[in-house]
Amino acid sequence: MNVQRFLNAIDGISTWAGKAAAWLIMGLMALVCVEVFKRYIMNMPTAWIFDASNMLYGSAFMLCGAYTLAQNGHVRGDFLYSSMGPRMQAGLDLALYILFFLPGIAALIYAGFGYAADSWHINEHSNVTAEGPPVYHFKAVIPLAGTLVMLQGLAEIARCLVCLKMGAWPVRPKDVAEIDIVEEQLAHSEYVDEASRELAIERAQKIDDSARQRGMGGDVI
């Protein structure tokens, strides 16, 4: 299996995990809406709602980390990085991945596994309320999310190595490529004047060219 197929496979796993975890937001929204109705309309608040909402939000936040990394969406101090050439970007990313990312995420997986194992062993429940819900399944998300991020991180390291060798970033699948939806829509809309359409097309092309030149390279958390 060549490098690009390996990268596509890892990106696919991260994308699938991120999209699956995003459905937890729907569950969280439904939970909050039901609780607001019960609390303020029926005067029947639920004791465990705080724990449940924290677990749903926390799970979505952690499980989407790998998808965000694949999407190059983590925060970066970009004022110097954007002016570098692809090889210099790749060299900087590679150094940061090796020095900080790999040890940090490895520690997260190791500590999280022990943390979750202890929680499952004692059948841990929340102590926020008298009859708190179980939390061991939530703590199991920690090593799982760490493993997904580590897997995506290895793909990003591979991208750095390819860029150092070839002088250009490997192309990412469209599923994880960052695009400007507004500009794309304006560029193809029939309800805007010609000048606005041409401006939208020009800006969309600049965004696309900039992304291609920078290779949409991997980011460091």
In 10 A of CB 143, how many CB atoms? 20
The DSSP secondary-structure symbol of 168 reads: S
Identify the top-confidence range among 77-81, 86-90, 211-215.
Answer: 86-90
Provide φ and ψ at 80, rounded to 5°.
-95, -40
Confidence of residue 76 (pLDDT cuts 50, 70, 90): confident
* Residue entry with tokens 């000048």: 195
| Contact status, residue 90 vs residue 163, Cβ threshold 8 Å | yes
Confidence of residue 219 (pLDDT cuts 50, 70, 90): very low
% helix, strand, coil for the chain, step of 5:
70, 0, 25
Contact 156, 93 (CB under 8 A): yes
Of 16, 98, 27, residue with least CA distance to 56: 27
167-171-173 Cα angle (round to 5): 165
Distance CA 78, CA 172 (A): 20
Is the backbone of residue 72 left (phi > 0), alpha (psi -120 to 50) or beta?
left
The Cα 217–Cα 91 span in angstroms is 11
Distances (CA, A) of 184 to 64, 80, 198, 208: 25, 28, 11, 10
Q: Which two tokens stand for residue 42?
A: 């029926």
More confident residue, 27 or 193: 27
Q: Average pLDDT of 190-207?
A: 65
Closest CA to 135 of 150, 111, 118, 149: 118
For residue 117, the surrounding DSSP H or E stretch is: helix 102-121
Considering the entire predicted model, what is its pTM?
Answer: 0.76
Instruction: Note the pLDDT of residue 143.
Output: 96
Percent of the chain residues topping a pLDDT of 70: 77
